[in-house]
Amino acid sequence: MIVTLSRIIKYGWRGFLRNGLLSVSTISIMVLAAAVFEGVILFNVIGKGAVQSIQEKIDISVYFKSNIHEDSILNFKKTLEKFDEVMNIEYISRDQALEEFKKRHAGEAVITQTLDELDVNPLLASLNIKAKEPSQYKAIAGYLENADLQNSAEKITYAQNQVVINRLIAFISILKSGGLVLTLFLSFLAVMVIFTTIRLAIYSNSDQIGIMRLVGASNSFIRGPYIVEGIIYGVIGGILSFLILVPLINFISPYINNFIPEVDLKMYFQTNLFTILFYQLIFSIGLGIVSSIIAVRRYLHV
């Protein structure tokens, strides 16, 4: 069995070398498909970091009228905290709002002087509500509109943030759909190229296949080298695409980190180096095996 397996691998390697330029073009497509697959994984990391960064800056704020007692606001806060869509709620009292406002405008003498001259605190108490997912803000806003807030709420900021929230939801959807479509397209392209390569190899070796049948070679021995050839395409394509992306990630990582401080792509890549390489090889070898099996079943009638 070991001898048979070694011969199958040897004949598969010979077939790979014999194809010459056709093998080079096949590997090129495989490298492209595998690189996009890896790019989708890393782009998903970037997208999650960007979404998280934006999501942390988005909330729904409910500003209460100055005559509303703090206990009423806190009771309303407890009611909202029971909602599954709500991640957390921050209560900002009037005094806290005034203190934060002064800190933000500490260098502006006109504003500081105006506040000192006022006898009362002009700022309102508020609840800053964050949802678990951007798509859940609509449900929370719907409850706030139906709740009895007409006599207690001065302003609800969902209308101002609605455009940003909707764009964020659309961005997440496009990110997932676009990456999936591109990966499927290039995977299909790689399968078709390997399929064509194996088919041509079968045609060019038709005489040799006939001789192998006459001498009593088993079906698995005849089919094996073409499956091995597909695996070779996958291994080489996966490794080359990984090696190409290593310097590319090192180059673009600082720019991404400047744009999205929450995302350290280089650190993520280094931490998950072997996991990414493993998935890369599984994807590439899988494409090679599937393409070879389809071609062998269709054109190699043994």
62-94: per-residue pLDDT in tens? 999 888 888 989 998 998 998 888 999 999 998
Query: Of 4-8, 211-215, 280-284, 289-293, which one has max mean pLDDT?
Result: 280-284
- Burial label for 197, CB within 10 Å (0-12, 13-18, 19+), is buried
Per-residue pLDDT at 302 exceeds 60 = no
Greater confidence (66 vs 298) lies with 66
The neighbour count for residue 35, using CB atoms within 10 Å, is 20
Per-residue pLDDT at 227 exceeds 80 = yes
For the entire predicted model, the pTM comes to 0.63
Per-residue pLDDT at 243 exceeds 80 = yes
Using 50, 70 and 90 to split pLDDT, how confident is the model at 3? confident
Using 50, 70 and 90 to split pLDDT, how confident is the model at 207? low
Per-residue pLDDT at 160 exceeds 80 = no
pLDDT of residue 141: 84
pLDDT of residue 299: 66
Scored b (16 or more CB within 10 A) or e, 216-236 reads eeeeebbbbbbbbbbbbbbbb
Element (H, E) at 69: none
pLDDT of residue 173: 73
The whole-angstrom separation of Cα 290 and Cα 294 is 6
Summarize the confidence of residues 11-21 as an average pLDDT.
74
pLDDT of residue 127: 92
The whole-angstrom separation of Cα 270 and Cα 98 is 45
The whole-angstrom separation of Cα 139 and Cα 104 is 32
Using 50, 70 and 90 to split pLDDT, how confident is the model at 174? confident
Q: What is the pLDDT of the chain when averaged over all its residues?
A: 80
User: Is 38:276 a contact under the CB 8 Å cutoff?
Assistant: yes
User: Is 64:153 a contact under the CB 8 Å cutoff?
Assistant: yes
The whole-angstrom separation of Cα 194 and Cα 295 is 9
pLDDT tens, position by position, 101-153: 888 877 777 777 777 777 788 888 999 998 888 778 888 888 887 766 767 88
Summarize the confidence of residues 240-253 as an average pLDDT.
88
Sketch out the chain's domains with CATH numbers.
2-54+168-299 (no CATH), 59-161 (3.30.70.3040)
